Amino acid sequence: MCGIVGYTGHDNARDIIIDGLKKLEYRGYDSAGIALLSKGELIVRKQKGKIVNLEKEIADENLQGTTGIGHTRWATHGVPSDLNAHPHTNEDGTIAIVHNGIVENYMDLRKWLIEEHHVSFRTDTDSEVIAHLISVLNEGNLEDAVLAAVKMMKGAYAFAAISKSEPGKIVAFRKDAPLIAGLGKGCNFIASDIPALLKYLNKIYLIENGELVICTPEQIQILDQQKQPVKRDVLQVTWSLEDAEKEGYEHFMLKEIHEQPKAIRETLMRRLDERGKVKLDGISLTLEDLERFNKIYIVACGTAYHAGLVGKYIIEKMARIPVEVDVASEFRYRDPFVDDKTLFIAISQSGETLDTLAALREAKRKGARVLSVVNVVGSSVARESDDVFYTWAGPEIAVASTKAYTTQLICLYLIGLYMGDLRGTISDSYYHSVLQELKAVPEKVSAIIERANEIEELAKYLYNRDQVFFIGRGTDSAVAYEGSLKLKEVSYINSFAIAAGELKHGTIALMEPETIVIALATQDALFDKMYSNIVEVKARLAHVVSIAKEGNDRIGQESTEVIFIPECIDEVTPLLSVIPLQLFAYYVARERGEDIDKPRNLAKSVTVE
Ligand code: F6R
């Protein structure tokens, strides 16, 4: 969703801000803009479409300025257009703002500004009210005006403002939308997200809800709404610039698929102690806690939800505690049975997904203990949880989630093993054998990736179909949902996933000669049942691509093609079987010439409902 970058220092703010915005492109956007304080003037340039359009627009202008703010917009209120793009200004063009989030009461504020202050609005956005509010409430300095404005605003937002009369200063405010401040050398920054700043610094402040930031080249001040200084520790960022660059790969999605062996290893090894046992370091989950929990809710959205579906199988099997998995947007509105005997596990790569955050708050309000599985350190989900289990995937830039998913799975396995061990619901030998299998996963993932050309060939053959079905049983059904989502989001092919046993209750009606069915058949314990489902669709002359473990010599009899994954125990197949599906989605989208890293209508971080 929208991205914000602000710079104040001594270099050309234009280039630094545009560079930062490019690093936020992955969040999804439809227009971009920049405002600079330049030689006593406030200059605003904005353009519908990609950042390159904006660059072209300003290429011949010698825009100078050492303070500025920039924005990538993901339209919510008002169509994507030059006019609705940010920054927005007050009527006389002396104040500019960029905004991420939604001002929920913008209609009331608009009415008030028109009736009481005769303001004329130029755009259809909710954001424009912020510039006018700051302007009409400005009686001295920008920070007081911003604080007065936020008292009137409702919603979830982060925004930054600059004023012609206060050169060198950026004032930003956060309420329920991501905002960080970055400490440079002789310069300072604000941004929505870490990748925007990685080229320039590795020390940041995480800004909390209800906090105001005043940024000048010399210092960053964080104040609360009573203007009292807030003391905040500096966070040292461990991600490198290379993590956020393509490094020779054609797309971030392909790079991130290839990064999985490393990311899985990192996530796993950081949670194993010298005896080779799971360590929770800083997370307190005692036996007493576990005996108290009578239910676990896993709540998330999209791919993270699919990781949760696998998590249910794993945790129930190992810890023998009932687990319910829910999409966050449903959970929060259905008055779920949550109390102080509930463990609530939120899963989120970004840690900023509004639905997940709202569900977490609802669970907390009802007394649940909250443990989150998060990739972005210091994100909102992480900060609002009682405990955090970080994935060590590094920044995930492609909109389609890959390495976040597999590292989320690793966390869920570790949680399951830890709980099972503590509760005595698994034996020592089982515990160690699963850990051994998990340790072997990075190499097995590499082995699958090395055979990517087989999947590329398959994609070349199948890329122009208009419908694909994914079927599976047990954890294979969870992976089927993920494979289907991957394919539809990057290739725009209509894909559909279903638990294989459900086929004959309706969906099999759609099987015709040459219908593509991707059948996950990796579960030894369920193989015979799954085989029957494959036979059923094959009998309708479907084109069946099966995914099975090496050494399975029955699967070929009824499949048109088979993709083999290395031998492993049933429990860990989701970590392997998803890899060919990610590659398949990628290569199909590439054959179709789609914008793989930034699929249409999608945003990386969904910070609105
Ligand atoms: C799909 C995808 C999305 C996200 C979902 C949740 O590839 O990336 O479905 O998984 O929007 O995002 P996070 O994990 O950031 O909460």
* Residues 319-330: tens digit of each pLDDT: 999 999 999 999
- Statement: residue 117 has pLDDT above 90: yes
Ligand 1 lined by 401 (C-beta under 6 Å)? yes
What whole-number distance in Å separates Cα of residue 424 and Cα of residue 321?
12
Total length of the chain: 609
Q: What is the 3-state secondary structure (H, E, C) of 268-303?
A: HHCCECCCCCECCCCCCCCHHHHHHCCEEEEEECHH
- Statement: residue 484 has pLDDT above 80: yes
Ligand 1 lined by 391 (C-beta under 6 Å)? no
Indicate if 2 belongs to the active site.
Answer: yes
Burial class (CB in 10 A: 0-12, 13-18, 19+), 151: exposed
The label of the residue with tokens 């709202």 reads: 358
Give residues with Cβ within 8 angstroms of 10, minimum separation 6.
66, 186, 187, 217
Contact 182, 197 (CB under 8 A): yes
Q: Given this model, what pLDDT does residue 3 score? A: 92
Ligand 1 lined by 353 (C-beta under 6 Å)? yes
Contact 434, 413 (CB under 8 A): yes
Position 68 confidence tier, pLDDT thresholds 50, 70, 90: very high
What whole-number distance in Å separates Cα of residue 137 and Cα of residue 148?
7
| Average pLDDT value for residue range 568-587 | 98
pLDDT in tens, 439-448: 999 999 999 9
Contact 252, 398 (CB under 8 A): yes
% of the chain with per-residue pLDDT over 70: 100
Q: Given this model, what pLDDT does residue 466 score? A: 93
- Statement: residue 62 has pLDDT above 90: no
- Of all protein residues, whose CA lies closest to atom 7 belonging to ligand 1? 400
Ligand 1 lined by 135 (C-beta under 6 Å)? no
Among the listed ranges 51-65, 87-101, 426-440, 495-509, which one has the minimum average pLDDT value?
51-65
Mean of pLDDT over the chain: 95
- For 142, the enclosing helix (H) or strand (E) is helix 142-152
For the chain, count helices (H), then strands (E): 18, 24
| Average pLDDT value for residue range 62-86 | 91
Annotated catalytic residue within 23, 50, 175, 604: 604
- Three-state DSSP class for 184? coil
- Statement: residue 243 has pLDDT above 90: no
- Statement: residue 604 has pLDDT above 90: no
For 364-393, letters b (16+ CB in 10 Å) and e give beeebbbbbbbbbbbbbbbbbbeebbbbbb
- Statement: residue 27 has pLDDT above 80: no
Q: Ligand 1, closest atom to CA 349?
A: 14
- Statement: residue 133 has pLDDT above 80: yes
What backbone phi and psi angles, to 5 degrees, belong to 516? -85, 125
- Which residue, 11, 168, 4, is CA-closest to 98? 4
Position 282 confidence tier, pLDDT thresholds 50, 70, 90: confident
Indicate if 604 belongs to the active site.
Answer: yes
Position 298 confidence tier, pLDDT thresholds 50, 70, 90: very high
Give residues with Cβ within 8 angstroms of 507, minimum separation 6.
469, 496, 498
Asked whether the CA dihedral 395, 398, 401, 402 is positive or negative, the reply is negative
Å from CA of 391 to ligand 1 middle: 14
The label of the residue with tokens 């696998």 reads: 310
Position 156 confidence tier, pLDDT thresholds 50, 70, 90: confident
What whole-number distance in Å separates Cα of residue 233 and Cα of residue 239?
18
| Average pLDDT value for residue range 300-312 | 98
Å from CA of 364 to ligand 1 middle: 22
Residue 30 to residues 19, 49, 79, 400, 511, Cα–Cα distance (Å): 17, 5, 9, 18, 38
To test the pocket of ligand 1, the residue of 375, 401, 412 to mutate (highest count of ligand atoms within 8 Å of its CB) is 401
Q: Given this model, what pLDDT does residue 64 score? A: 87
What whole-number distance in Å separates Cα of residue 29 and Cα of residue 31?
6
Burial class (CB in 10 A: 0-12, 13-18, 19+), 565: buried
Burial class (CB in 10 A: 0-12, 13-18, 19+), 231: exposed
Q: Which long-range contacts (CB under 8 A, 24 or more apart) does 247-251 make?
A: 250/590, 251/398, 251/586, 251/590, 251/596, 251/597
Ligand 1 lined by 585 (C-beta under 6 Å)? no
- Statement: residue 609 has pLDDT above 80: no
Per DSSP bridges, beta strands 67-73 and 170-175 are unpaired
| Average pLDDT value for residue range 247-266 | 95
- Statement: residue 11 has pLDDT above 90: yes
Indicate left, alpha or beta for 494 from its phi (over 0: left) and psi (-120 to 50: alpha).
beta
- For 475, the enclosing helix (H) or strand (E) is helix 475-491
The label of the residue with tokens 């997200």 reads: 193
Annotated catalytic residue within 2, 187, 411, 568: 2
CA of residue 64 relative to chain centroid, distance: 35
To test the pocket of ligand 1, the residue of 349, 389, 484 to mutate (highest count of ligand atoms within 8 Å of its CB) is 349
| Average pLDDT value for residue range 232-259 | 90
Å from CA of 305 to ligand 1 middle: 8
Burial class (CB in 10 A: 0-12, 13-18, 19+), 82: middle
pLDDT in tens, 205-217: 999 999 999 999 9
> CA-CA-CA-CA torsion for 579, 580, 586, 587, nearest 10 degrees?
150
CB atoms within 10 A of CB 123: 17
- Which residue, 258, 584, 594, is CA-closest to 453? 584
Position 128 confidence tier, pLDDT thresholds 50, 70, 90: very high
The label of the residue with tokens 């099987």 reads: 511
Burial class (CB in 10 A: 0-12, 13-18, 19+), 602: middle
Strands (E), 254-410: 295-300, 323-327, 342-348, 369-374, 387-390
Reduced DSSP (H G I as helix, E B as strand, rest coil) percent helix, strand, coil of the chain, to 5: 40, 25, 35
- Three-state DSSP class for 563? strand
- For 314, the enclosing helix (H) or strand (E) is helix 302-319
